[in-house]
Chain A
Amino acid sequence: MTIANQVAAPPHVEEHAAPRAPFIAEHFEGAEHQFESGKLGMWIFLVTEILFFSGMFCAYAVYRSQHPEIFSYASQFLDSTMGGINTVVLICSSLTAAWSVRCAQLGQRKGLILTLALTILGAFGFLGIKYVEYSHKFHDGLLPGKYYHVQSEAVADVGLDASIPAATEGESHEAAPEPAHDSGHAPVEGPEPANVKIFFGIYFAMTGVHGLHVIIGIGVYVWLLVRAIKGHFRPDYYGPVDFTALYWHLVDLIWIFLFPLLYLIH
C-alpha cells in the first residue's frame, strides 16, 4: 500500500487496514515484524551477556592456568551433590521454559500458565539450594579475599588434615599426623596452598552474578505469568514468552559451564 494509493483512493484504506491486534505497536508493520524485531534485539542482548560473563570466565582461566593447585584444593569444599542437583533443577526449568513457548505458540492458555509457574518453581528451587550452599560457605569461613578464614571442622569434613593451619595464618608447619583417608574421595595431600581465597573470590563472583540473573528471571517470569493469566498471549502474539525463554536458556547455559568448572575439579 503506497502513499499514492491512499491519496488516490481513500475509501479503500479502511478495507486494507485490518483491525490491529492488541499489543502490536504502531511503528511495526504487523505482528510478525514486531516479533522478528524483538527476537533480534533479544539475541543481541544475549551476545552482550555472553561477552559480559566471558570476562569472569577469562579471570577463571588465567588464575586456574597459573595456580591449578588452588583450584583442585578449594574445589573439594564445594558440594558437588548440591551442584549436581541444581544443574538438574535448572535443566528441568529450561524444559518447562521451552514448553511454555510451545504452549504460547499453540494458544494453550492453561498449559502456558502451568509451564510458566513450573519454571518459576524451578528458579526458586535453584536459589533455595544456592542459599543452603552459601550459608555453609559463610559458616565455614570459605569467603573471598580478606574474609577468608577457613574453619578447621570444614577442612576435616572434606577429609583433609585439620591439624595443618591455614597458610594465611602463618603458623609453623610442625610435623603433621597422617591425613585421614576415610572419606569417599581422595583428598589433596599436604598443607593448604597459598591464596585459596582467590578461588572463593571467583566462585562467589561467578555464581553470585549467575544467581542475580536467576532472580531477574523470576521477576520477568512472574510478569509473564500475570499476563498469561490475563490471557494476553495468543498464537500471533507470544514474543515476550519466547524472548524470556531465550534469556532463561542462556542462564542455564552459563550454569552448564560453571558446574564442571567450579564443582568437578579433580
Chain B
Amino acid sequence: MSHEEHAAGGAHVMSPKVLLGIWGALIFLTALTVWSAQHDLGRIDLVVAMGIATIKASLVALYFMHLRYDKGFHGVVIIGALVFVFLFVSMVLLDRNQYQADIDARTIELEAR
C-alpha cells in the first residue's frame, strides 16, 4: 500500500491487495476451524472455535467494514453494542439454574402420567 487511494471527501479506499489478503485469511481461518473441529480438543474446543470466529469477525469489521480507517465514533458505537451483548448473555447465564428444580419436577410429573 505505497500509494493510498482516496475517494472524494477523503474516504479511504481499500486496495485490491488488502481486500484479497483479508479474503485469503478468512478462507484459511475457515479451513482451520473445520480442521480443529475434527480433533478432540476436550474442553477447550469451544474456546478455540469462538477464538477463530472472533478473529474472523475482527478482520471483517476492521477491513471489509472499514472500521480501522473510519471515524472512531463508529467503533465506539459497535463496541458499546458488544459490551451490552456481553452483559446480556453473561447475566442470563448466571441465572440459568434458577428454575431447573421446577423443570425437573415437571419432567418427573409428566413421566409419571
Contact = CB atoms under 8 A, between A and B. Distances in A.
A65 B53 contact: no
B61 A249 contact: yes
Interface residues of A, number: 52
A40 B96 contact: no
Interface string B8-31: 110101101001101100110010
A255 to B, nearest CB: 10
Chain B interface extent, by class: 35 or more
A39 B74 contact: yes
A57 interface: yes
B19 A235 contact: no
A114 to B, nearest CB: 14
A257 B51 CA distance: 10
A264 interface: yes
Contacts of A80: 34, 37
Nearest to A266: B45
Interface string A79-110: 01000100110011011011101100110000
B89 interface: yes
Given A253-B60, A260-B37, A91 B78 contact: no
B9 A35 contact: yes
Given A66-B96, A106-B5, A260-B52, A50 B41 contact: no
Contacts of B92: 58, 61-62
List 5 tightest A-B contacts by C-beta distance, closest first: A105-B7, A264-B37, A260-B49, A47-B81, A236-B8
Interface of A: 31-32, 35-36, 39-40, 43-44, 46-47, 50-51, 54, 57-58, 61-62, 65-66, 80, 84, 87-88, 91-92, 94-95, 97-99, 101-102, 105-106, 185, 235-236, 238, 245-246, 249-250, 252-253, 256-257, 259-261, 264-266
